[in-house]
């Protein structure tokens, strides 16, 4: 089907479910009539009100096709094929059902908490009917009502412009093009408070948020539901780890050695963790020793537990304020993350690990009723998981006092410190009552850590912080088989359908550049009888929750997403990521493809490279692919060569490590280890040279 026909096709619904109404003039047209513009002409195009759309979903059965093959990571370049094909019947067509009364209802709202599946279609369907009782994997998809200033939209805005650093497309100028974030900070006077009052405008200026997210299931099975580690989990042991800084505490090799408290140890076992991942081996003792930490480890390698476990252990050891109803709560730990769904996921992990202890974790995020956040906190709060906007709001309303904060965690820290959230984070640490960096422990985690961001991070960390870099390579997980195809803008849709049909019933995330395009592509795929849903900043919260849940439980095996879903999401059985549009930065690419190949499982990523718009990525992409021992197409090398930037070093990617410690002059040691050895037992000598 040609591009020209496509819109006409799409506005003719095939099923009774309602479909988005697309208005041609809302999109900038290319010269040849293509309705997509890679970069929105203006933010009004992007943000002219929530689209309030849904897609209709169709009964579908995919024909089996060829497998893209599956790389056995860590073992040379040899490839082997895995057959993951097979037809699937996703089940009944459905539209958006929402959550009446904010309750999960059997057979309908299954999606939100997501049945815990192995991706088998029939199981998925039956689990759906169970209404979410089959457990869930963290991550409620908490999304807002499309308020223009929500962090969700900020996330997309930054994505469009590539953040502060790294290769990116030229950004259009002018107000509201998504280039410059609307500051949350108001006037800047009384900066911490103006941030609180002016920042989270979704609560104070925008439409009133009435949404109260349903409480997560409370039964133990749901709390401890987990998926299996993959065949490559044991290969984590051979990954190189570098710890730099003074007086590095030795790594712990086992959970027993970590000597966490008994309840915690029991919870770890219930969660199915038997063996530490490298980032956990090295980070846990650092946090237990009271040190500040910046940790960089590949996607899906267990960073969340690497900070939660030692923090909870310390809290149990040192004692905490008993939970009791109070209007002003003073948490001992604050964890911030850039998106609502991610912070929910972290909260669920915190709740899991603190199960049966006196530690109470609470999550608050934008797009939900403010009063609900207040009520959650008032019941007691030791660990506060929050998105930045809502956090500043709640601090501004004096529902949270900061005096007791001992731990401040920035997950996806590079994102939290870039121009999108950096100012807010600075306000947070300068809020009245917030202990100085000398008096608190600050922990930062990410799979990517650009040098510039590391320098900014210094403001938050004690000078003697430790830097843990868990190898290979440029942050791209080697368990993901990466393929880059040269596909022009107008051939992408056809290629997408071809690719999806060839992959059978694999759970697939398709990343596109804009929210509008996510709607287009999702609807297009539905027209092609591929059961699809979408997640992006213009969808209502209920829709997003439904979408994420439907994807999690396998009801909709294809999720079209903007980069807002690129970081942190841990969804079982995502076997395949497709970059319909490549992101503007290589770091974002690393995060996106990291939605698959998690925790020792293998996955595949296919990226459509449009030479018209993606040339700037050729060079870093070649670097990422070759570092991860992936095939590099000759045409890509040629483009990279033709766009060669003298002096381009790939930044930290010249190292075998995902990121390197940018501190050049510290006198401390670094230790270079494989993850199976503690620092003191390392078989390799320390490579101090490269760090001084
Ligand atoms: N030691 C372990 N044993 C078994 N499973 C684990 C272990 N550590 C973490 N996991 C599981 O691995 C998955 C990925 O962990 P997590 O989400 O913390 O990764 P991450 O490094 O934060 O990824 P990302 O960079 O994408 O945010 C989760 O399902 C988690 O429960």
Q: What is the pLDDT of residues 270-327, one digit of tens each?
A: 999 999 999 999 999 999 999 999 999 999 999 999 999 999 999 999 998 877 889 9
- Give the closest residue (by CA) to ligand 1 atom 23: 300
Q: How far is CA 266 from the centre of its chain?
A: 28
Average per-residue pLDDT in the chain? Answer: 72
Q: How confident is the model at residue 100 (pLDDT cuts 50, 70, 90)?
A: very low
Q: How far apart are CA 283 and CA 250, in angstroms?
A: 10
Q: Is the CB of 300 under 6 A from ligand 1?
A: yes
Write down the CATH number for the domain with range 220-470: 3.40.50.300
- Give the closest residue (by CA) to ligand 1 atom 10: 302
Q: Is the CB of 536 under 6 A from ligand 1?
A: no
| Average pLDDT estimate for 371-388 | 96
Atom number in ligand 1 closest to CA 342: 27
User: Coil, helix or strand for 170?
Assistant: coil
Pocket test for ligand 1, best of 302, 352, 412 (most atoms within 8 A of CB): 302
Q: Is the CB of 449 under 6 A from ligand 1?
A: no
Kindly give the pairing relationship between strand 407-411 and strand 333-336. Answer: parallel
Q: Is the CB of 161 under 6 A from ligand 1?
A: no
Task: Detail the DSSP E strand segments found in 400-462.
Answer: 407-411, 441-446
Q: Is the CB of 447 under 6 A from ligand 1?
A: yes
CA angle 65–67–72, rounded 5-degree value:
170
Pocket test for ligand 1, best of 236, 274, 305 (most atoms within 8 A of CB): 305
| Average pLDDT estimate for 46-63 | 31
Name which of 23-32, 385-394, 509-518 the model is least confident about.
Answer: 23-32
CATH 3.40.50.300 residue ranges in the chain? 220-470, 480-642
- Give the closest residue (by CA) to ligand 1 atom 30: 302
CA angle 253–254–259, rounded 5-degree value:
110
Q: Rounded to the nearest whole angstrom, what is the distance from the C-alpha of residue 12 to the centroid of ligand 1?
A: 43
10 Å Cβ neighbour count for 110? Answer: 29
pLDDT at 58 > cutoff 50: no
Q: What is the pLDDT of residue 472?
A: 59
For the question of an ipTM over 0.90, the answer is: yes
CA 289 → CA 250, 266, 312, distances in Å? 10, 22, 13
Q: Rounded to the nearest whole angstrom, what is the distance from the C-alpha of residue 100 to the centroid of ligand 1?
A: 33
Q: What is the pLDDT of residue 402?
A: 98
Alpha-carbon dihedral of residues 501, 504, 508, 514, nearest 10 degrees? 10
User: Coil, helix or strand for 648?
Assistant: coil
Kindly give the pairing relationship between strand 603-609 and strand 574-579. Answer: parallel
Q: Could you give the angle at which helices 303-318 and 278-288 cross, rounded to 10 degrees?
A: 30
10 Å Cβ neighbour count for 669? Answer: 16
Q: Could you give the angle at which helices 388-396 and 370-378 cross, rounded to 10 degrees?
A: 70
Name which of 359-373, 584-598, 616-630, 677-691 the model is least confident about.
Answer: 677-691
CA angle 489–491–493, rounded 5-degree value:
95
- Give the closest residue (by CA) to ligand 1 atom 8: 302
Higher pLDDT, 540 or 467: 467
Atom number in ligand 1 closest to CA 595: 26
CB contact burial 242-271 (16+ within 10 A = b; e otherwise): bbbbeebbbbbbebeebebeebbbebbebb
pLDDT at 497 > cutoff 50: yes
| Average pLDDT estimate for 494-498 | 97
Task: Detail the DSSP E strand segments found in 365-479.
Answer: 383-386, 407-411, 441-446, 466-470
Q: Is the CB of 302 under 6 A from ligand 1?
A: yes
Half-sphere exposure at residue 286, Cβ-oriented, CA atoms within 13 angstroms: 32
Q: Is the CB of 568 under 6 A from ligand 1?
A: yes
Q: Is the CB of 276 under 6 A from ligand 1?
A: yes
pLDDT at 45 > cutoff 50: no
Give the whole-number percent of the chain exceeding pLDDT 90.
53
Task: Residues 480-642: name the CATH superfamily.
Answer: P-loop containing nucleotide triphosphate hydrolases (3.40.50.300)
Q: Is the CB of 506 under 6 A from ligand 1?
A: no
Q: What is the pLDDT of residue 657?
A: 45
Q: How far apart are CA 25 and CA 494, in angstroms?
A: 24
pLDDT at 223 > cutoff 50: yes
| Average pLDDT estimate for 236-241 | 89
Nearest by Cα to 138 from 228, 217, 219: 217
Q: How far apart are CA 1 and CA 6, in angstroms?
A: 7
Higher pLDDT, 173 or 390: 390
Q: Is the CB of 397 under 6 A from ligand 1?
A: no
Instruction: Classify the C-alpha dihedral 679-681-682-685 as positive or negative.
Output: positive
Higher pLDDT, 413 or 187: 413
pLDDT tens by residue, 535-569: 998 887 778 878 989 999 999 999 999 988 999 99
Q: What is the DSSP letter of 235?
A: G
Q: How confident is the model at residue 673 (pLDDT cuts 50, 70, 90)?
A: low
Q: Is the CB of 334 under 6 A from ligand 1?
A: no
Atom number in ligand 1 closest to CA 345: 17
- Using the structure block, give the residue that is written with the tokens 């109470």: 360
Atom number in ligand 1 closest to CA 227: 29
Q: Rounded to the nearest whole angstrom, what is the distance from the C-alpha of residue 446 to the centroid of ligand 1?
A: 12
- Give the closest residue (by CA) to ligand 1 atom 2: 273
Q: How far apart are CA 612 and CA 9, in angstroms?
A: 27
pLDDT at 600 > cutoff 50: yes
Q: How confident is the model at residue 140 (pLDDT cuts 50, 70, 90)?
A: very low
* Residue 669 CB partners (closer than 8 Å, separation 6+): 244, 245, 246, 248, 686, 688
Structure-token pair, residue 266: 């029991």
Q: What is the pLDDT of residue 677?
A: 36
10 Å Cβ neighbour count for 642? Answer: 10
Q: What is the pLDDT of residue 190?
A: 38
pLDDT at 29 > cutoff 70: no
What is the phi/psi pair of residue 337, to 5°?
Answer: -145, 160
- Give the closest residue (by CA) to ligand 1 atom 16: 302
Structure-token pair, residue 333: 């730990």
Contact 652, 452 (CB under 8 A): no
CA angle 65–626–669, rounded 5-degree value:
135
Contact 532, 42 (CB under 8 A): no
Q: Is the CB of 159 under 6 A from ligand 1?
A: no
pLDDT at 366 > cutoff 90: no
Q: Is the CB of 303 under 6 A from ligand 1?
A: yes
Q: What is the pLDDT of residue 546?
A: 87
| Average pLDDT estimate for 321-338 | 92
Q: Is the CB of 409 under 6 A from ligand 1?
A: no
Contact 639, 654 (CB under 8 A): no
Nearest by Cα to 328 from 366, 384, 387: 384
CA 481 → CA 70, 540, 547, 596, distances in Å? 6, 34, 26, 10
- Give the closest residue (by CA) to ligand 1 atom 3: 273
Atom number in ligand 1 closest to CA 138: 29
10 Å Cβ neighbour count for 293? Answer: 25
Structure-token pair, residue 252: 């712990």
Higher pLDDT, 501 or 201: 501
Q: Is the CB of 298 under 6 A from ligand 1?
A: no
Higher pLDDT, 112 or 398: 398
Report the number of secondary-structure helices (H) and strands (E) in the chain: 24, 17
């Amino acid at each position: 089907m040609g591009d020209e026909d496509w819109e006409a096709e799409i506005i003719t619904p095939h099923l009774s479910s309602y479909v988005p109404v697309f208005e041609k003039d809302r999109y900038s047209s290319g010269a040849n009539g293509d309705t997509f513009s890679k970069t929105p002409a203006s933010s009004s195009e992007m943000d002219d009100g929530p689209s309030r759309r849904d897609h209709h979903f169709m009964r579908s059965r995919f024909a089996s096709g060829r497998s893209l093959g599956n790389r056995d990571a860590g073992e040379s370049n040899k490839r082997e094929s895995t057959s993951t094909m097979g037809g699937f019947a996703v089940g009944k067509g459905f539209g958006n059902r929402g959550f009446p009364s904010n309750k999960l209802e059997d057979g309908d709202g299954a999606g939100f908490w997501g049945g815990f599946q192995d991706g088998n279609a029939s199981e998925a369907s039956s689990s759906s009917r169970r209404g979410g009782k089959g457990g869930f994997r963290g991550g409620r998809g908490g999304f807002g009502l499309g308020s223009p200033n929500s962090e969700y939209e900020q996330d997309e805005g930054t994505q469009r412009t590539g953040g502060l650093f790294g290769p990116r497309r030229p950004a259009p100028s002018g107000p509201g093009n998504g280039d410059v974030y609307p500051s949350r900070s108001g006037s800047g006077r009384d900066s911490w408070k103006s941030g609180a009052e002016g920042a989270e405008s979704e609560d104070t200026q925008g439409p009133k948020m009435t949404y109260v997210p349903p409480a997560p299931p409370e039964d133990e099975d749901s709390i401890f539901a987990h998926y299996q580690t993959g065949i490559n989990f044991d290969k984590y042991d051979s990954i190189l780890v570098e710890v730099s800084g003074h007086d590095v505490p030795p790594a712990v090799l086992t959970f027993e050695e970590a000597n966490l408290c008994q309840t915690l140890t029991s919870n770890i076992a219930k969660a199915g963790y038997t063996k530490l991942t490298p980032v956990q081996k090295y980070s846990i003792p650092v946090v237990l020793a009271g040190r500040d930490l910046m940790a960089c480890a590949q996607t899906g390698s267990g960073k969340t537990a690497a900070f939660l476990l030692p923090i909870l252990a310390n809290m149990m050891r040192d004692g905490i304020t008993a939970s009791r109803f109070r209007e002003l709560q003073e948490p001992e730990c604050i964890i911030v993350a850039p998106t609502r769904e991610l912070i929910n996921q972290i909260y669920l992990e915190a709740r899991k690990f603190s199960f049966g202890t006196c530690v109470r974790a609470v999550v608050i995020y934008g797009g939900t009723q403010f009063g609900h956040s207040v009520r959650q906190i008032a019941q007691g709060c030791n660990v506060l998981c929050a998105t930045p906007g809502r956090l500043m709001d709640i601090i501004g309303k004096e529902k949270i006092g900061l005096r007791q904060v001992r731990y401040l965690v920035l997950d996806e820290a590079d994102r939290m410190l870039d121009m999108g959230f950096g100012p807010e984070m600075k306000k947070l640490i300068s809020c009245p009552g917030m202990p100085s960096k000398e008096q608190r422990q600050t922990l930062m985690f990410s799979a990517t850590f650009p040098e510039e961001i590391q320098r900014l991070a210094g403001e938050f960390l004690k000078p003697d912080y430790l830097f843990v870099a868990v190898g290979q390579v440029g942050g791209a997980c080697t368990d993901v088989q990466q393929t880059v195809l040269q596909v022009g803008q107008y051939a992408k849709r056809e290629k997408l359908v071809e690719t999806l049909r060839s992959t059978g019933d694999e759970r697939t995330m398709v990343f596109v550049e804009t929210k509008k395009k996510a709607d287009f592509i999702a609807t297009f795929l539905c027209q092609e009888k591929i059961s699809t849903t979408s997640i992006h900043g213009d969808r209502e919260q209920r829709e997003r929750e439904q979408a994420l849940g439907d994807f999690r439980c396998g009801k909709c095996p294809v999720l079209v997403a903007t980069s807002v879903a690129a970081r942190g999401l841990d969804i079982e059985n995502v076997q395949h990521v497709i970059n319909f549009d490549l992101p503007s930065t290589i770091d974002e690419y690393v995060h996106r493809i990291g939605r698959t190949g998690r925790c020792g499982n293998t996955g595949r990523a296919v990226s459509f490279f449009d030479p018209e718009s993606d040339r700037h990525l050729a060079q870093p992409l070649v670097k990422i692919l070759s570092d991860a021992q992936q095939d590099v197409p000759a045409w890509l090398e040629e483009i990279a060569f033709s766009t060669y930037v003298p002096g381009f070093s790939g930044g930290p990617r010249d190292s075998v490590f995902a990121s390197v410690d940018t501190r050049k002059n510290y006198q401390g040691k670094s230790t270079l280890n494989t993850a199976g050895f503690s620092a003191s037992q390392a078989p390799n000598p320390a490579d101090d040279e490269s760090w001084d």
